[in-house]
Amino acid sequence: MLLALGMFVFSIDTLAFDDLNRRANWRHATSTRVGTRDATQFTGPGEETISLPGSVFHEIADGSVSIDELRAMANTGDAWSLVDGRGYVYGAFVITGIDDRGKGFFPDGTPRQIDFSIELLRVDHDDA
């Protein structure tokens, strides 16, 4: 298991992502001052996102089934816990976007390769 989002497991048999891109922001309010730098005050954590780009090949796994399952999860609007194979808990995330592109089609229209990207947004608190 590479990663689990709720009950969906990212693995070789489902969707194996190529990268895990994690971005976090922290908010600082500013107040203008004359003759010096603006005053700042830390106001708390901002947005945290994770992007999972990758490719799945039809000979290994039917990626369209896994992508459809993730789309169904996204349609609920629910938050899902995100845990990696080592047991590290990232927090609760919602699915905000799924992009997929089929390439190299079989005669019946089934793609040999699907490139995908899944966008996640953290919705819980650090102390949760």
Round to whole Å and give the CA distance between 117 and 23. 15
Spell out the residues 6+ positions from residue 111 whose beta carbon is closer than 8 angstroms to its own.
58, 64, 102, 103, 104, 105
Q: Could you give the C-alpha distances from 27 to 46, 50, 62, 122, in angstroms and in order?
A: 6, 18, 41, 15
Q: Could you give the C-alpha distances from 44 to 16, 64, 122, 126, in angstroms and in order?
A: 34, 39, 14, 11
The tens-digit pLDDT sequence of the chain (128 residues) is 899 999 999 998 899 999 999 999 999 999 999 999 999 999 999 999 999 999 999 888 888 899 999 999 999 999 999 999 999 999 999 999 999 999 999 999 899 999 999 999 999 876 54
Looking at the structure, give the CATH architecture of the domain made up of residues 3-122.
Beta Barrel (2.40)
